[in-house]
C-alpha cells in the first residue's frame, strides 16, 4: 500500500495534534510541510477540499479534519490506550474545538474582530481553562492518572492561548494547568513533533514521520 501523505504546518495546533497522534500510534506517513500558509503548493490545494491543514491522503481517500486523523491513526495502533476514554473526554474536546477556540481566536487576532472586546473574549477562554485546572487539581491528566486523547487534542490550543501573552498566562491562578502544559512543552514527544522540517517541494526526497 502507498504510504499515507500528511500535509502539515509546523505551528498550527490542529496539525500539531494530528502529528502527536500519528507519533503515538507509530504509523508511518510521508510528512509534507508547508512553510507559509499564504503560499500553498498546488499539489496540496488539489488534495485538500478545504485547503486547510492538516490533511491526510490515504490512496483515494482524504481526511481533512485533525480529530479524524487522530482517531484514524490510533485505530490503526494505540499502544498507549489514548482512545480508552469516556464520553466526558469527547465533550471536553468538543468544547475546546468550539467555544474555547472561538474565544482564543477573538483574543489573539483582534484586528480580525474589531467589534469584539478582546478582554471579554479572553475571560471567556479563561473560564474553560479554570475548568481544566480544577480537573487537574486531583489528577495528572485530564481524564485521570493516564494520558488520553483529550490531552493531546487540547494541549496545542492551550499552548497557543498561552503564547498570546505568556507573562499574563503564568500570572493566573491555574497552577495545575500550568504544570500540565509545561510538562507537555518539555516532553520528548512534543519536541519531536515540533522539529523543523525541510519544506516540501516536488523535486525533494520524502520525509518520513511517525514510525521512529
- Domains of the chain (ranges; CATH) run 5-80+191-209 (3.40.30.10), 87-187 (1.20.1050.10)
pLDDT tens across 147-179, in order? 999 999 999 999 999 999 999 999 999 999 999
pLDDT of 1? 66
pLDDT of 35? 86
Strands (E) in the chain, as ranges, are 5-8, 29-33, 55-58, 61-63, 208-209
**pLDDT beyond 70 at 212:** no
**pLDDT beyond 60 at 52:** yes
**pLDDT beyond 70 at 208:** yes
Mean pLDDT of the chain: 96
Burial call 102-128: b when 16+ CB within 10 Å, e when fewer: ebbbbbbeeeeeeeeeeeebbeebbeb
| Sign of torsion over alpha carbons 9, 15, 20, 21 | negative
Tell whether pTM > 0.85: yes
Mean pLDDT within 172-190:
97
C-beta separation of 130 from 103 below 8 A: no
Amino acid at each position: 500500500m502507498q504510504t499515507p501523505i500528511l500535509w502539515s504546518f509546523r505551528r498550527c495546533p490542529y496539525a500539531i495534534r494530528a502529528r502527536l497522534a500519528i507519533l503515538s500510534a507509530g504509523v508511518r506517513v510521508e510528512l509534507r510541510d508547508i512553510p507559509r500558509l499564504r503560499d500553498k503548493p498546488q499539489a496540496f490545494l488539489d488534495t485538500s477540499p478545504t485547503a486547510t491543514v492538516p490533511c491526510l491522503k490515504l490512496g483515494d481517500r482524504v481526511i481533512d479534519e485533525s480529530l479524524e486523523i487522530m482517531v484514524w491513526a490510533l485505530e490503526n495502533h494505540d499502544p498507549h490506550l489514548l482512545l480508552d476514554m469516556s464520553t466526558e473526554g469527547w465533550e471536553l474536546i468538543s468544547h475546546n474545538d468550539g467555544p474555547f477556540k472561538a474565544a482564543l481566536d477573538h483574543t489573539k487576532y483582534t484586528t480580525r474582530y474589531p467589534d469584539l472586546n478582546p478582554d471579554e473574549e479572553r475571560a471567556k477562554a479563561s473560564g474553560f481553562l479554570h475548568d481544566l485546572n480544577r480537573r487537574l487539581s486531583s489528577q495528572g491528566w485530564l481524564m485521570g492518572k493516564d494520558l488520553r486523547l483529550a490531552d493531546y487534542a487540547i494541549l496545542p490550543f492551550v499552548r497557543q492561548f498561552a503564547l498570546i501573552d505568556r507573562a499574563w498566562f503564568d500570572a493566573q491562578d491555574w497552577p495545575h494547568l500550568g504544570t500540565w502544559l509545561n510538562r507537555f512543552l518539555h516532553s520528548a514527544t512534543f519536541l519531536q513533533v515540533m522539529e523543523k522540517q525541510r519544506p516540501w517541494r516536488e523535486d525533494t526526497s520524502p520525509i518520513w514521520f511517525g514510525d521512529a
